[in-house]
Chain A
Amino acid sequence: MSTAAVELRAISKRFDAVVANDGIDLVLARGTVHAVMGENGAGKSTLMSILFGLVRPDSGEIVVDGETRSFQSPLDAIAAGLGMVHQHFRLFDSMTVAENVVFGAEPTRGGRIDRAAAAERVRSLADRYGLDTDPQARVGDLSAGARQRVEILKALHRDARILILDEPTAVLTPSEVTSLFTVIRRAAEDGTTVVLVTHKIQEVLDVSTEVTVLRDGRVSGRFVTADTTSAELVRAMTGREVEIVANPGTGTLGDAVLEVEGVSVTDARVERVSNVSLSVRRGEIVGIAGVSGNGQHDLVAAILGTAPVSAGRIRLGDHDVTGATVAARRAAGLAVIPEDRRGEGSAVTMSITENLSLGHHRQPPIGRPKGFGRGWMSLVAARTRASEQISSYDIRTSGEKQPVGSLSGGNAQKVVIARELSFDAPLLIAEQPTQGVDVGAIEAIHGRLLDYRASGRGILLVSHEISELLALADRVLVMFAGEIVAEFDRSQASAERIGAAMAGAAAAAGEEWTA
């Protein structure tokens, strides 16, 4: 059992001027859980795409079970025994679990799909690996964790012996993560080689047996998990020591900048937010925890004014903005870092300068509200302002004319954050501000948010990352099924308590209920 299941030898891949992989060697021993770590842009995704046949390397060799392979497409990789669970699931929502699992390799009887056999296959695979699932359920109705199990079953149905999991915990609740890890361990004991692509250090320490760290397209460290520490992994990932930004604690609280009273939001006849009340005061960061899709986004939309409320009032400072337009709310003192960076946060085909100017284009120095030249913008002023922000926010770019869509996730997010913070609004809503952003950029963004609070403004922080909420928030509210089910003060908050409340364990959180 000592032979390698997969060996990647000197893999190189270049996209135009960017070297994504530069002579990477990776050895995956059979029956191990091998973590591949690295910041965004370190080359993890490219390497995994090469391994799974989605991208062809410029040079290098892929050896599976001692045999050199050349993958023209994922089909070849699947045939060689590889399976991949993509970060963004590739599932058919309208079909059942069984249909998704057997799709493309269906058992048939007399030309028809043999549904009984398909369900039986799903059940036996599920039992073997401890994947709790209902073969007849419609995938569109399932939670993220259940969908992930379907993706894993898909790979297992095709007899995958090497399973690649790309950022598998990004969408899971803490308890779902625990059961995923159980599945991973069981698969490894069964002889399956699991590749875990992630940038979360704790997970690597929890579940992997070996770690390969990538930085700038090269291997920057190889470790046996049992013999390494998180500090060592961070150093390999970033090439330096990262200071974990410490929340200096609550300062003096000022007036309320946001008051939400009994707000409900109904979308397509379904109540997404039910009777939510909360307030944010100057000098305070209020966190909202919850598994994605429990109404957080709808609540933000209601405060921002992109979704109408069906009940309740919303006040920004002295202004009742319950029925106001988005523009009126922004004028009343609101800035927003949206969750969907590419769709809502930025105009991807427009330049950095244009993106940074959006919303600032009517005021000086860019806009001319009155006098000669009224209604025209000063492009010189816009460029100057953009250059200043690019350097002060450390946005890595080839120039201020570069389209935002071609920036990396972290740099695109810095553009959004620079634009929104420069409104100097009393209230900032930050929705998933560090999603898909690497460790270095997370550090910078967290520092900016704490500075913003220190300047006497309030922040409503929506995050799926409990660690982020613990690091930044003065209070944490937990949303489940459209309601706020728990509230924790900074002193009471812990990952376990928040996690339990996120999973809907209202009883467990009952004693902390202070609202």
Chain B
Amino acid sequence: MSIFEWSFVAAVLTSATPILFAALAGALCAQAGVFNIALEGQMLWGAFAAVAGSYYTGNAWAGVLVAVLSTAIYSVILAVGAARWKADPIIIAIGTNLLSLGLTGFLLRVLFDTSGSFAPQGLNGIGTMPFLKGIPVIGDVFAGQSVLVPLAFVLIVAAGLWLRLTPGGLRLRGVGEHPDAAATLGIGVARYQTWVTILGGGLCGLAGAQLSLGNVTLFTENMTAGRGWIAVAAVILVANKAFWLPVACLGFGAAEALGFRLQGIGAPQQLTDAAPYAITLVVLVIMRVVVTRRRTHALTPKETLV
């Protein structure tokens, strides 16, 4: 059995997509100077909300919508607390991460009278793209994926262009780099930070929805299993080099997909469960070294003097 084939690439994208959304949220917040470590909890809430929404309405897209909106509302705790009231974002994020874990477990019991996992008969997952079948490569990779998978890449490119090309993007970056300077030029620093954090909440809602209705069609307690933290690590380690963000996320996706394959050929489960995290760490550290080297090279003293 071959490990490397197009279905493997598809599996990589599937695994990477939730992290891509969350990392995009974290990166946008970082651009605005908000250190957002609430991604894990927000993603978990999004995953739960998506399943609950889909279960009650019978429509997966309604589930996605519920996930996006309710996670955006959930992120208001962080947005308003940190940006407007100047509370410590780390403390708030720890609080919302813990709250999310407890709250989803609690609601699982109250609403669905179950614990551990919830996979009712007839729960609708996000639609795939069967119309792509038959197209070589693209069909192999994307036909079985949820629509959110290409959307993640579209959003990343769109965010990059927005940051680079529009006044709003320029101002957002300015707010993050030097808030005092932005404020003296009339930019509402707290306003930018509040809204980007809430936007990040919406993206984490998408991340959760992809996880529970795209990758699988069920919710289990703590099903994010550290993916939000992987996104946080990716954001920190690639720093401002936005190009590297998808690379880092795909690295994790590849590691996870590889883990499933290895499990398939009989490797011990403990090893394959741990592998993605270990491999991701190694990848991130290597990337950090590469990125740092480039940055240092760009700033020699002669250049800074002229």
Let me know if B180 and A90 touch, CB within 8 A. yes
On whether the beta carbons of B166 and A95 are closer than 8 Å, the reply is: no
Chain B, residue nearest A274 (CB): B301
Binding-face segment, A101-109, A194-202, A231-239, A318-326: A101-109
Q: In the bound complex, do residue A95 and residue B170 qualify as a contact, i.e. CB atoms below 8 Å apart?
A: yes
With a cutoff of 8 Å between Cβ atoms, the chain A residues found around residue B187 in the complex are 104
Which of B166, B170, B299 sits near A103, CB closer than 8 Å?
A: B170
Please report the C-alpha to C-alpha distance between residue A277 and residue B296 in the assembled complex, in whole angstroms: 27
Which residue in B181, B240, B296 is a CB contact (below 8 Å) of A90? B181
A104 touches B182 (CB 8 A): yes
**B136 within 8 Å of A (CB atoms):** no
B174/A108 in contact, CB under 8 A: no
Q: Is the CB of A268 within 8 A of B296?
A: yes
Q: Which of B167, B185, B293, B306 contacts A113 (CB 8 A)?
A: B167
Write the nearest CB–CB distance from A239 to chain B, whole angstroms: 34
- Enumerate chain A residues within 8 angstroms of B84, measured Cβ to Cβ: none
**Which A residues are CB-close (under 8 A) to B293?**
269
Contact indicator A293/B304 (Cβ below 8 Å): yes
The reply to whether B178 and A481 contact each other, CB–CB distance below 8 Å, is no
Q: Provide the residues of chain B in CB contact with A90, threshold 8 Å.
A: 178, 180-181, 184
Q: Give A73 to B189 CA distance when docked, in angstroms.
A: 14
**Is B177 engaged at the interface, CB distance under 8 Å to the other chain?**
yes
Provide the residues of chain B in CB contact with A293, threshold 8 Å.
301, 304-305
- Most chain B Cβ neighbours within 10 Å, of A95, A103, A291, A481: A103
Across-interface contacts of A113 in B (CB, < 8 A): 165-167, 170
Of B165, B178, B184, B186, chain A has the most CB atoms within 10 Å of the CB of B184
Task: List residues 185-214 of chain B with CB under 8 A from any CB of chain A.
Answer: 185-187
A74 to B300, CA, bound (A): 36
Q: How far is the CA of A270 from the CA of B304 in the complex (A)?
A: 12
The 8 Å CB contact of B178, one of A92, A99, A112, A142, is A92
- Whether A99 and B181, one on each chain, are in contact in the complex, defined by CB atoms closer than 8 angstroms, is no
Binary contact readout A74-102 vs B (1 if CB under 8 angstroms, 0 otherwise): 11001000000000001111110001000
Q: What separation, in Å, do the CA atoms of A498 and B275 have in the docked complex?
A: 62
Highest count of chain A CB atoms <10 Å: which of B165, B177, B180, B186 = B186
Evaluate contact between B166 and A269: CB separation under 8 angstroms.
no
Contact of B177 among A94, A268, A481, A482 (CB under 8 A): A94
Residues of chain A lying within 8 A (CB to CB) of residue B227 = none
User: Nearest Cβ distance between residue B164 and chain A, in whole angstroms?
Assistant: 9
Instruction: Give Cα distance in the complex from A337 to B304, angstroms.
Output: 26
| Also in contact, A141 and B170, with CB within 8 A (given A74-B184, A90-B178, A270-B296) | no
Q: Which residue of B lies closest to A73 (CB)?
A: B186
Question: What 11 additional pairs, Cβ within 8 angstroms, besides A90-B178, A141-B303, A143-B304?
Answer: A74-B186, A90-B180, A90-B184, A92-B181, A95-B173, A104-B186, A141-B304, A143-B305, A270-B296, A293-B304, A481-B301
| B interface residues with partner A (beta carbon < 8 Å) | 165-167, 170-171, 173-174, 177-178, 180-182, 184-187, 240, 293, 296-297, 299-306
- 15 contacting pairs across A/B (C-beta < 8 A): A54-B184, A75-B186, A90-B181, A91-B178, A91-B181, A93-B177, A103-B185, A104-B182, A104-B187, A140-B304, A269-B293, A293-B305, A294-B305, A295-B301, A481-B305
